[in-house]
């Protein structure tokens, strides 16, 4: 569908095919010579164009699959030379070796579960119980613990920048991307041998099904059954073990295309609570770790692929 409007030197061309409006403007609309009437006519034509385009969209064949297109895009950029998440990996590597804090030391002696400084495979077993803290911790909790005890670092600024935004990087997201990438290709093995680990998994499961806040939502409202969607986005069923749960646990941290940021599981769960209109959970809280432990139990055996690409 194509429409032309011409008024003296004022020329505007609309091309409506495939919901495209291509404007060729020779002079500003409504500048003079009856611009008010012309602008009204132009608006009428734009409405007709959009109505025609909407009809074309409704007539699209059923085999046009938005989810397949999203997956094709992810696959296209999901390699180290194209995935922007690897920028966070590189920044995290620098932060891991950087001396700072009151003790002016790096994190290279931090014990993430496999011994001081060992990184290979540690993300495949987190969250886990740490005897020195007598607590089950996820990676971000453990990093904060090492910053405070090993480096003597005041973590107020680190926590204030826990989630990155345009022009503001997050030390935690960068460190998690770097450490998580050290388990690339390994199998995820949920740590459930200690009683406190099993207790955390049970608490996390109870939280998954607990309905609350103004919408009376729970995690299970969106993630408690197969086939649920929000717009084009398929919602994973996280109520049972299986391939879907393994894919989820294998893919965080991830680069979020819609946010232009690398995000961790802490952010993913925080954002879920925000969307459910629940009070924001405290960063690195035991509640978030409990939910993560529940998901880890379901995702046991996943092949880790981080940083991945997500919408």
Q: Would you please indicate which residues are annotated as catalytic (active-site) residues?
A: 272
3-class DSSP state of 9: coil
CA neighbor of 143 nearest in space, from 166, 114, 106, 175: 175
What is the C-alpha to C-alpha distance for residues 22 and 19, in angstroms, rounded to an integer? 10
What is the C-alpha to C-alpha distance for residues 216 and 252, in angstroms, rounded to an integer? 27
What is the C-alpha to C-alpha distance for residues 186 and 303, in angstroms, rounded to an integer? 6
CA angle 223, 228, 233 (to 5 degrees): 95
Residue 125 φ/ψ, nearest 5 degrees: -125, 10
Long-range contacts at 43-51 (CB < 8 A, ≥ 24 apart): 45/3, 45/5, 45/14, 46/14, 46/21, 48/3, 49/1, 49/3, 49/14, 49/16, 49/21, 50/16, 50/19
Contact 86, 178 (CB under 8 A): no
Radius of gyration of the chain (CA): 25
């Amino acid at each position: 569908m194509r429409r032309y409007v011409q008024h003296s030197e004022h020329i505007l061309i609309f091309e409506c095919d495939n919901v495209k409006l291509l404007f060729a403007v020779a002079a500003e609309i409504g500048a003079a010579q009856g611009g008010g009437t012309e602008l009204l006519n132009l608006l009428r034509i734009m409405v007709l164009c959009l109505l025609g385009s909407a009809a074309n969209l409704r007539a699209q064949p059923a085999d046009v699959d938005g989810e397949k297109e999203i997956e094709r895009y992810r696959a296209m950029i999901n390699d180290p030379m194209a995935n922007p998440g690897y920028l966070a990996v590189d920044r995290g590597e620098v932060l891991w070796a950087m001396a700072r804090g009151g003790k002016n030391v790096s994190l290279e002696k931090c014990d993430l579960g496999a011994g001081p400084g060992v990184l290979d495979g540690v993300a495949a077993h987190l969250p886990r119980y740490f005897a020195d803290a007598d607590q089950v911790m996820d990676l971000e909790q453990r990093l904060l613990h090492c910053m405070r005890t090993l480096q003597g670092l005041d973590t107020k600024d680190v926590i204030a920048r826990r989630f990155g935004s345009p022009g503001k990087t997050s030390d935690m997201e960068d460190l998690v991307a770097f450490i998580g990438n050290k388990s690339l290709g390994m199998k995820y093995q949920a740590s459930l041998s200690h009683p406190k680990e099993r207790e955390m998994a049970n608490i996390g499961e109870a939280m998954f099904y607990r309905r609350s806040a103004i919408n009376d939502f729970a995690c299970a409202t969106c993630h408690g059954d197969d086939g649920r969607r929000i717009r084009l986005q398929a919602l994973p069923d996280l109520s049972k073990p299986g391939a879907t749960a393994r894919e989820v646990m294998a893919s965080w941290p991830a680069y979020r295309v819609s946010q232009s940021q690398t995000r961790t599981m802490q952010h993913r769960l925080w954002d879920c609570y925000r969307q459910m209109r629940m009070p924001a959970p405290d960063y690195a809280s035991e509640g978030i770790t409990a939910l993560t432990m529940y998901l880890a139990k379901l995702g046991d055996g996943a092949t880790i692929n981080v940083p991945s690409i997500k919408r």
